[in-house]
Amino acid sequence: MKILEIKVMKGPNYWSNKRHKLIVMKLDLEDLEEKPTNKIDGFSERLEAMFPSMFEHRCSEGVEGGFFSRVKHGTWMGHVIEHIALEIQTLAGMECGFGRTRETSTRGIYHVVFSYMEENAGVFAAKASVSIAESLIAGTPHDLQADIQKLREIREDERLGPSTGSIVDEAVKRKIPWIRLNRHSLVQLGYGKNQKRIQATVASTTSNIAVEIACDKEDTKNLLEAAQIPVPRGSVIYDEGDLQKAIDKIGYPVITKPLDGNHGKGVTTNLRNWEDALRGMEIAKKYSRAVICEKYITGRDHRVLVINYKFVAAALRTPAAVFGDGQHTIQQLIDKVNSDPRRGYGHEKVLTAIKVDDQTMAMLAKMNYTLDTVIAAGEELWLKPTANLSTGGTATDVTDIVHPNNIFMAERIARIIGLDICGIDIMADNLSEPITENGGAILEVNAAPGFRMHLDPTEGIGRNVAEPVIDMLYPAGTPSRIPIIAVSGTNGKTTTTRLLAHIVKQMGYHVGFTTTEGVYIQNQMMMQGDCTGPVSAEFVLKDPTVDFAVLECARGGILRAGLGFHNCDMAVVTNIAPDHLGLGGIDTLQQLARVKAVVPKAVLPGGYAILNADDDLVYAMREDLDCKVALFSMDENNPRIKEHSAANGISCVYENGYFTILKEAGK
């Protein structure tokens, strides 16, 4: 077999208008075209042994085991590869269930189409599935677990983090469009002038000076202390002399942490002697030249989340730990904890697997333990100095028991720092009574607080903390989209696009439009050349000065990656003609019409598809649409126009040298 090409769909496309994230692999089966699966000795048995979970694949038979039945009775290898690609992604924690395989006009060459969650993971799955199939055919070993682990690593490297992802998911629920602006967590919500941006959990509404204050722990502490908020005593240190002065002033035990650190990096707690304090300072210095040394406050670690200056959630955090049973070693106890199905690689599950690192070994050495030590039954052993979920910690939701005084204090802290999305770390025995009464203290105020502990706590109720973020960015009635007109067809697209852009401009809009000549923002050419694909469309939709988009959508871009938007308000299809047949696997007018039909199918239910009533293939597109339809014709007596008008449809005809708009039964 030979992979001829791999395309990544990112929007409505030739294969599906509803499933936007598809891999399209063009595969040459070569001599396997003559060998369906039932003619390859032992293939079915080897496939079932490698992928027993594929029993759930119903395939066209519609019952569990349906796919295995197809393999036993004989199916082609492209179909098998489609299912392998879906299954290995699912085994790596990415649920993918849509696929189809179709032969091209060239015998033995197929389009293998399947869904993906992360682009690079989908491309890897395409290549790996062919390699796996070849091993199954030959009966040679294949390291499936290595492929699955590689997919996990790609997923963790590519995916949005759980916090950013939750905000995007909430936006999608509300039909707010989004565009990822880099390979990390910078995301645009909405289009054009109605866009907002988020990066992790920092929003475009978040004050820059507030983030600067939160990142400087000494400034934060000083502001809170001046506002009579309880904070631990301490000072900023730079060297051993400063460390000694700080300890002389506040006494042991102490905690050291970077002045501008985050996510628990470089933090060392409960330091009770000079050697440990010195080591803690050196660890913190790996992340910041300046180090905070402050009194170690005993109690339990809590995180309170305030969004738009309103309290929304609270969690009790516990560091990664094991409990002794008097029989198993520490390493065996860690392995047992990691076997919990809720724990996984990175952020793939509710909990993260505990990883033994330098911090773990340092904590063990402090107690004269090694990984081979058997600890007493019932003994709790902390393996990390901080309670971050990313290092294996756990979280318990305590939102409903937070005392009103503590809620008032948290909302006041967010105002003092100026953070509209604010995470507050509190050390206290509990939050059910005022921390001013139980000896608690505010340890830190965090910009870009993680949402994972609130979304999926280990214990307690999960809180949809992304909801108030979207409420803040887009209050009820606030638009997130801009009007979009999409133009497709074979001939006249650029002229139509230019005319529409000019009309819209005369209506007072700031227009961005794309054509075969270039991309224009308010009549200024930004890019020159054929700009009728999804990248050019996104260019316009990213521009914050644009409040109306007119986008030319050509065959090539649709076949290459799909549309650059999920929905539009109007679509115009000019005609279907035999120009450029034979390119991109499109060999007939009917296939070309299916490509062009992607555009009107993307029209929102309240919008209009404007179709050529003189062209049979364009006129037929109306049958598969969920939107309103308007027709145009060069023939004032076109019976299709008369029928449409009789049904109170809108039409336009060329009549006696004029364009006439027909509404309400031909009037």
Listed by start position, the domains of the chain span: 2-158, 162-231+300-319+385-478, 233-295, 484-633
Higher pLDDT residue, 631 or 64?
631
Band (586; pLDDT cuts 50, 70, 90): confident
Query: DSSP alpha helices (H): ranges in 188-323?
Result: 208-215, 217-226, 240-250, 274-285
Give, for 302, the enclosing helix (H) or strand (E).
Answer: strand 300-307
Q: Which residues contact 600 (CB under 8 A, 6 or more apart)?
A: 488, 571, 573, 609, 611, 621, 625, 627
Cα separation values, 307 from 84, 230, 317, 472, 625, Å: 43, 21, 19, 8, 41
Buried b (16+ CB within 10 A) or exposed e, 9-21: bbbbbbbbbebeb
Band (665; pLDDT cuts 50, 70, 90): low
Most confident range (mean pLDDT) of 384-388, 576-580, 621-625 is: 621-625
Q: What is the pLDDT of residues 347-404, one digit of tens each?
A: 667 778 888 888 889 889 888 899 999 999 989 888 887 777 777 888 999 999 999 9
Q: 120: which 2 tokens? A: 């690079």
Residues 533/542, Cβ–Cβ less than 8 Å? no
Share of the chain above pLDDT 90, in %: 76
pLDDT at residue 4 greater than cutoff 50? yes
Band (582; pLDDT cuts 50, 70, 90): low
pLDDT of residue 596: 96
User: What's the mean pLDDT in 270-275?
Assistant: 90
User: What's the mean pLDDT in 56-74?
Assistant: 89
Q: What is the pLDDT of residues 111-158, one digit of tens each?
A: 999 999 999 999 999 999 999 999 999 999 999 999 999 999 999 999
Mean pLDDT score of the chain: 93
pLDDT at residue 177 greater than cutoff 60? yes
Q: What is the pLDDT of residues 520-569, one digit of tens each?
A: 999 999 999 999 999 999 999 999 999 999 999 999 999 999 999 999 99
pLDDT of residue 298: 84
Q: Is 175 exposed, middle or buried (0-12, 13-18, 19+ CB in 10 A)?
A: exposed
Q: Which residues contact 552 (CB under 8 A, 6 or more apart)?
A: 486, 487, 488, 493, 494, 497, 513, 514, 515, 516, 531, 532
User: What's the mean pLDDT in 480-502?
Assistant: 97
Q: What is the pLDDT of residues 30-64, one digit of tens each?
A: 999 999 999 999 999 999 999 999 999 988 777 88
Share of the chain above pLDDT 70, in %: 98
At 506, the amino acid letter reads: Q
User: What's the mean pLDDT in 482-506?
Assistant: 97
pLDDT at residue 517 greater than cutoff 50? yes
Least confident of 121-130, 452-461, 462-471: 452-461
pLDDT at residue 262 greater than cutoff 70? no
Task: Please name the fold of domain 233-295.
Answer: Dna Ligase; domain 1 (3.30.1490)
pLDDT of residue 345: 77
Band (241; pLDDT cuts 50, 70, 90): very high
Band (263; pLDDT cuts 50, 70, 90): low
Q: Kindly report the backbone phi and psi dihedral angles of residue 42, in degrees, each rounded to the nearest multiple of 5, phi listed first.
A: 75, 0
pLDDT at residue 159 greater than cutoff 50? yes
Q: 393: which 2 tokens? A: 């910690």
In this structure, the strands spanning 650-655 and 628-633 are parallel
Task: Please name the fold of domain 162-231+300-319+385-478.
Answer: D-amino Acid Aminotransferase; Chain A, domain 1 (3.30.470)
DSSP class per residue in 214-245: HH-HHHHHHHHHHTT-----EEEE-SHHHHHH
What SS3 state is found at 657?
coil
Least confident of 259-268, 387-396, 416-425, 636-645: 259-268
User: What's the mean pLDDT in 312-326?
Assistant: 92
The C-alpha angle with vertex 162 and arms to 161 and 166, in degrees rounded to 5, equals: 115
**If one looks up domain 484-633 in CATH, what number appears?**
3.40.1190.10
pLDDT of residue 666: 45
